[in-house]
Amino acid sequence: MSKLVSARASAADPASSLRGNFELRRFSALTPRVLVVGASTGGPQALAALLPRIGPRLKEIPVVVVLHMPTNFTDVVTGQIGGLTGLPTTAAINGEELRAGRIYFAPGDTHLKIVRVGPYYALAHFDGPQENFCKPAVDVLFRSAADAYGPGVLGVVLTGMGSDGLEGARRIVHAGGSVIVQDEASSAVWGMPGAVARAGLAAAIAPVSQLADSIAFRLGGSQKSEAP
């Protein structure tokens, strides 16, 4: 298990300042190979503030998002995020290869997994039962990302009600990856990110703007994750 450290451990990291009396885990030393994001209440606004700020760095990594939303809302959100980032942004197609520089959303009412197929990674729909009263569920995506990418995962838990993402965040951390969460002050509801923070699984707790800067910082780091 990762060593717990205070928020002052990395002054160079834009999200190293701690919000609240929580201990933080040390970030993985590896440059992330996939960015997985979970959000619910207030999520569209948080995503619109987060992803465009990361800028060109998003071209270096695939981004997979679970947002608790109805099926007919998926096109609205993907269109908005695609317009703001300038990157291809779509609802994930079952079986499609995961590619850097693209943003994939879980379709409404369908769980989404990342699976490894030989040297490639693909997205798979999963018609299982609800988890945490949710479908799609952040936990399903996060667990699959940890199993597929190991320490190359960077998970982000944004504003949302409930605790979806907690067990998936635990799987990411145990696999050697990192999880960062939105702080309470900037969240519409501090349920999902708060659950991860209280469990001691977060490497950073900060407003969306600082989380975005931290992600960009980590993608621009000198250390690279090793090929599987």
CA dist., res. 34 & res. 182, Å (int): 19
How many other β-carbons are positioned within 10 Å of the β-carbon of residue 137? 26
Say if residues 165 and 139 touch (Cβ distance below 8 Å): yes
In angstroms, the CA 142 to CA 59 distance is 21
Q: Is 186 a catalytic residue?
A: no
Choose the catalytic residue: 68, 144, 186, 214. Answer: 68
SS3 206: strand
Determine whether 225 is an active site residue: no
Q: What is the DSSP letter of 58?
A: G
Catalytic member of 164, 183, 186, 225 = 164
Angle made by CA atoms 189, 69, 110, in degrees to the nearest 5: 125
End-to-end CA distance of the chain: 21
Is residue 174 part of the annotated active site? The answer reads: no
Active-site pick, 40, 163, 186, 187? 40
For β-strands 24-25 and 4-5, DSSP reports them as: antiparallel
- The token duo for 214 is 């931290």
- Active-site annotation, residues: 40, 68, 164
